[in-house]
Amino acid sequence: MEFDPDSVPDDVWISIFETLPPAQLTVLVRTCQRFRALARKPLLREIRWGRTESTERNLDAWSSPSYSDLVALPRKVAIGIDFEFCGKSFWNYLTDEMQLHDRIHTQLQNFSMLHELVLNGTAISPYTYTILASLPSLRSLSIVNCVFINLHTQFEDHTHPNFSRQPTPLFNFTSLPLTSLRLHKLTYPTEPGPGVLAENIPSHPIHLVTAPNLRWLSLTWTPSRAVAYAHNNWPLPNVTDLEVIMSFLTRDMVDALVGCVERCRPGVRISLSIDHHNLAEQQVTSGFHIPLKGVWKYRGPLSFATWWPRGDGASTLTHLVTNVAIELSPLVSGLEKLPKSLQALEVQLRKWDMELLYAVRELFPDIRTLVVRYGQGTLPVDFLVSLGAEILPKLTYLHSLKILHDASCLKSRLPNHSTNMTGFFGPPVQQPTPLHQHLLQLHHQHPPHPQPLLHPPAQHQHQLPHPPHPHPPHQFHQHHPPQLHHHHHPYHPPPPPPPPTQFQHHHWLLNNNTGHLGTPHPLTEAALEEFSSRSDDDDSGPPELEQADLKDYLVAWNRYCKRLRHVQLDNARWWERKFEGDVWVEIKGPDVT
């Protein structure tokens, strides 16, 4: 029986069209007469005004009678037009850009069912607030990379001869029905006078946080914003989700943030992002602590990942992303301090080492997403065999796995400016603990379920867990039989570390006989540059992994890692499947997930 598309009800087609991206819907509207009217309605739910010419044509279309009955369809409008008049304070004549600005704001008032407004890289003014107040269905507002201008009416009003520049009444921000607010990177063409914070100006967008129904809030936490909030103490009684981005952290900003969280609803979920800080290393390593409860997602230096309260109930942290590439030993040491309930982890490693995956296997058995970015080294030939035999069978909840080479991991520098190398997470290290002993200590902290060692001892004296120097140790377990990792072995302390060699410019040295970490050595800038510039294609290292047979391994991994859906070992391609039992499909191009 031949299928007839006309027999399908229009409601079914509309449901299908709502799942398609705007680009595909546009092609459908232009090429198919049958679905032109049906596909146009879902296409009009989201409007983007980013370029002057296309925006003018779109506004002309909305002014036509054919679109007059469709003004209730748009649910989201994104505006990203960079107006040149933003650098001025007075406007004595009307330009084309000013007319476009007035037309956009006038058209926004016609979208009676508008739910979300995004202002990115454009102008915002007190006049914009009056437009927001005229949209009763507006619930979500995003202000990102915008310029604030002191405009209280349309530009056209400024050209009238009888226009008076009388002070306008202050806008009542508490009248807005917003439930979601995103406020990042706002600039002023002319800064306020000395001693005056822009955030204290009554028309500053920071006052949008006083909307009484606000439940989701995302802020860039700047020093001036922290001072303004500490001074005003705005209540946030209904905020249940708080996202804070700190480009530079100071103790004063931290204290103000704690006060902000205390004004939120009890049990607020916090997403915290930290790029840099000015704290001395002694402050960090001595246990600098911020009493923040409810942090479920953190992005920043791993050394700050222990800020959440300790000994005060179960940890809420489930997602962690590090933004500083470090060596294996401090990385594993920091991961040990994280809760075992971690679900998503993204780390940066200066040099690839298989030991990291063994640590993740033991520390986070319920992990869902794992992303490892490394700056130097290559995946060995037997990587897929070791991954399938020793790692994935213990990670039964794993959904996404990415192990990618990233040259930027070699450019980052450890935040250590002293001449004596110290432990990244603690006081100066005299006798660094081997990675295997770290896991043994973790085993004693959780006695009900003994954990196997990361790294069993070699069966014979000549069977080394690491290739001897001068070959770089690309991975730890390529010589280990897979079955050895299923038994518990007593730990034997390693012999004393060897004397310094030509590799002492490494942050940590590997013992030639045991594969354990040796004593740290001073790290000079010149040595670090030489280490960073060393070629990854060193002929002395093991051969690289060939991914031609990866699909065959993926099929085998389905038996014991049934939730695995996304695997990527190359920046230019990845493999994915939609559901259990689905075939693995190779997708080429940059991964946007």
The whole-number pLDDT of residue 277 equals 74
> If you average pLDDT over residues 138-152, what whole number do you get?
93
Q: Higher confidence at residue 592 or residue 114?
A: 114
The mean per-residue pLDDT over the stretch 475-484 comes to 38
pLDDT (0 to 100) of residue 540: 43
Point out which residues pair with 226 in neighbouring strands.
none
Name the token pair of 164. Answer: 């008076």
Supply the pLDDT for residue 437.
47
DSSP letter string, 238-260 = T--EEEEEESSB-HHHHHHHHHH
Residue 542: per-residue pLDDT: 45
Residue 271 has what pLDDT? 96
Whether 70 shows a pLDDT value over 80: the answer reads yes
- Under the banding of pLDDT at 50, 70 and 90, the label for residue 38 is confident
Give me the mean pLDDT over the 549-566 stretch.
90
pLDDT at site 288: 60
For residues 363 and 548, the model is more confident at 363
3-state SS assignment for residue 185: strand
First to last CA, the chain: 40
Asked which of 21-35, 133-147, 386-400, 457-471 is least confident by mean pLDDT, the reply is 457-471
When the candidates are 3.80.10, 2.40.160, 3.30.300, 3.30.420, the CATH number that belongs to 44-212 is: 3.80.10
Comparing 451 with 40, the larger pLDDT belongs to 40
d(CA 455, CA 140): 51
**Cβ 143 vs Cβ 182: under 8 Å:** yes
Among 521, 522, 503, which Cα is nearest to 512's? Answer: 503
Are the C-beta atoms of 110 and 81 separated by less than 8 Å?
A: no
Measured CA to CA in angstroms, residue 70 lies from 5, 75, 321 at distances of: 26, 11, 44
- The per-residue pLDDT for 525 is 43
- Report yes or no: 571 and 404 within 8 Å, Cβ to Cβ: yes
269's enclosing H/E stretch is: strand 269-274
Angle between helix 328-335 and 355-363 (nearest 10): 0
Query: Strand, coil or helix: what is 49?
Result: strand
pLDDT of residue 101: 95
Question: What's the average model confidence in pLDDT over 479-490?
Answer: 38
CA distance 45 to 113: 10
Which DSSP helix (H) or strand (E) runs through 183?
A: strand 180-187
* Residue whose structure tokens are 């072995």: 489
**Which two tokens mark 182?**
């995103």
> What are the CA-CA distances from residue 372 to residues 323, 352, 391, 519, 573 (Å)?
12, 9, 14, 25, 16
Q: Mean pLDDT highest for which of 154-158, 159-163, 229-233, 286-290?
A: 229-233
Q: Write a three-state SS string for 58-83.
A: HHHHHHCHHHHHHCCCCCEEEECCCC
Q: What integer best gives the mean pLDDT of the chain?
A: 76
| Contact predicate 204/180, CB 8 Å | no
Residue 385 has pLDDT above 50, yes or no: yes
Q: Is the pTM of this model over 0.85?
A: no
Q: How is residue 433 written in tokens?
A: 């603990």
Read off the pLDDT of residues 155-174 as tens digits, 9 standing for 90 and up: 888 777 776 666 677 899 99
Q: Quote the percentage of the chain above a pLDDT of 90.
A: 40
- At CB < 8 A and 24+ separation, what contacts does 5-9 make? 5/34, 6/34
Q: Which range is least confidently modeled, 215-229, 286-300, 431-445?
A: 431-445
Q: Which residues sit opposite 404 in a β-bridge? A: 373
What one-character-per-residue DSSP string does 373-440 give?
EEEE---BTTHHHHIIIIIGGG-TT--EEEEEE-GGGGT---S--SSS---TTSS--SSPPPHHHHHH
* Phi, psi torsion values for 562, nearest 5 degrees: -70, -20
Ranges of each domain in the chain: 44-212, 215-317
> pLDDT grade, residue 205 (50/70/90)?
very high
